[in-house]
Amino acid sequence: MEKSSLDFLLKLLSTPSPSGSESRLQRIWLDYVKKFAMVNTDHSGNAIGILNPEAPFKVLLAGHSDEIGLMVNRIDDRGFVYFNQSGGINPYLLPGLKVEILGYKGTTVRGVIGFNRKLYGEGGGKPKCEDYFIDCGFSKGEDLKKLVRVGDYILYHSDPEILNNDRVVCKGLDNKTGSFIVAETLKKLSKKKLKVGVYAVSTTGEETNMRGAHCAGAVIKPSMGIACDVTFNTDTPGEETNRAEVFLDKGPALSVGSPINVKINELIEKAAKKLKMPIQFELTPSRTSTDADKIMFSGEGVPVSLLSLPLRYMHSPVEMGSLNDIQQIIDLLVETIASLTGKEDLRPVLP
C-alpha cells in the first residue's frame, strides 16, 4: 500500500465518527477525494465522490463511515456517567476499558468504564450497558457537567497500530476500512477511461439506522450497487467451524444469498480470475445486515452485491484486519468496474 494511502487510512481511523456524528471524518474524506473526483454531500451526511457523471449506467460503491459508540444518559452528583449504546456494543467487553467522551464544548474527556463487585461473579446473569458507569476522576457532577451533557458521544480509547507490517489494529475498522476502500477505488479508477459512472459514497448511520445508504440509493438511482463492509473471521481459536470459513489473507469475502444479484457476483468472480486472486464466500440467506439491504430497496429496486473484509474481534477496541486484504478488495473493485461496458443486463432471468 502506498504511504499516502496508508496515511489516509490511519487518519480516518484516528478521527471520531460515532453513528450520528460523522462530519469530522467526512470532511477529511471529501478533502482527499476532491483531488481526483467531483465531490458532493447530501442531507443524511453522506460524502460522495463522482467519476463520469454523464454516463447513464451508474455504479454505486458504499462504505460506511460511522463506528459504534455509547451516549451519555445521566451524570450523577458524584460525577459518575451512565450511558446507552449506539450500535452493536458487546457489554461483556466493557468493564475496565478506557473511553473518550466527546464533550459538547469541544473538549474530549477521558475516563474508564467502572464496575462494582457483583460483576466479579457474585451477581450472575447477562451483563448490560446499564450495569456499568464511567469514572472520569471527578468528585462532583456539577464540575463534569461543565464539559459533558446528556447526548454526548462516547468512544473506545484506541489508537491505530500496525502489527508485523500487515495487521492493522484499532476500533472502527468496521467500517472506516470500507470508507477508505471506496475512496481508493475511485482514485485508481480516475486514471482509467470508464464507460460507466462511478459514485463512491462514504455513508452514514449504518450501525444504527442505515440512513445514508437509503439516501444514496434514492438520490443517485444507481444501475447497480456494491457495498463494502467487514465480516466475521473464522480463523482464531474457538471460532465455530460449521459455517463457511473466512480467513485473513485468503482473499475478499463475497456474499451469496437472496439479497445478492448473481450477475454482479459473476462479474466480480470473473475479475478475480483475471487477477488470479482468491475469493472466499459468506452466506447471507435473507439479509446482509449492511448498507446493501437499504440500497437494494431504494427507488425502483437496485441490484446489489456485498464484498467484505475479513475482520477479527469485531465491535471491540482491537479490531484487526489485513492491509493486504484491503488492497486486494480495492484491486478487485477496480478491475470489475473498469471492465464494465455500461450495457450489462443484470436481470437474473431474461424474457
pLDDT band at residue 122 under the 50/70/90 scheme? low
Instruction: Report the pLDDT value the prediction gives residue 187, as an integer from 0 to 100.
Output: 98
- Residue 125: pLDDT above 80? no
Residue type at position 209: N
Fold assignment, 3-67+171-338: Aminopeptidase (3.40.630)
Nearest to 228, CA basis, from 207, 205, 200: 200
Mean pLDDT of the 86-90 span: 93
Structure-block grid coordinates of residue 289 = 445486515
Fold assignment, 69-156: Elongation Factor Tu (Ef-tu); domain 3 (2.40.30)
Q: What is the pLDDT of residues 187-225, one digit of tens each?
A: 999 999 999 999 999 999 999 999 999 999 999 999 999
- Residue 321: pLDDT above 90? yes
Q: How many Å apart are CA 102 and CA 112, to the nearest integer?
A: 14
pTM of the model: 0.96
User: How large a percentage of the chain has pLDDT more than 70?
Assistant: 97
Instruction: Report the pLDDT value the prediction gives residue 238, as an integer from 0 to 100.
Output: 87
Mean pLDDT of the 238-264 span: 92
User: How large a percentage of the chain has pLDDT more than 90?
Assistant: 93
Instruction: Report the pLDDT value the prediction gives residue 118, as an integer from 0 to 100.
Output: 65
Mean pLDDT of the 146-172 span: 97
Average pLDDT, the chain: 95
**HSE of 21, CA atoms in CB hemisphere, 13 A:** 19
Phi, psi torsion values for 224, nearest 5 degrees: -155, 155
Mean pLDDT of the 335-341 span: 98
- Domain residue spans of the chain: 3-67+171-338, 69-156
Instruction: Report the pLDDT value the prediction gives residue 121, as an integer from 0 to 100.
Output: 56
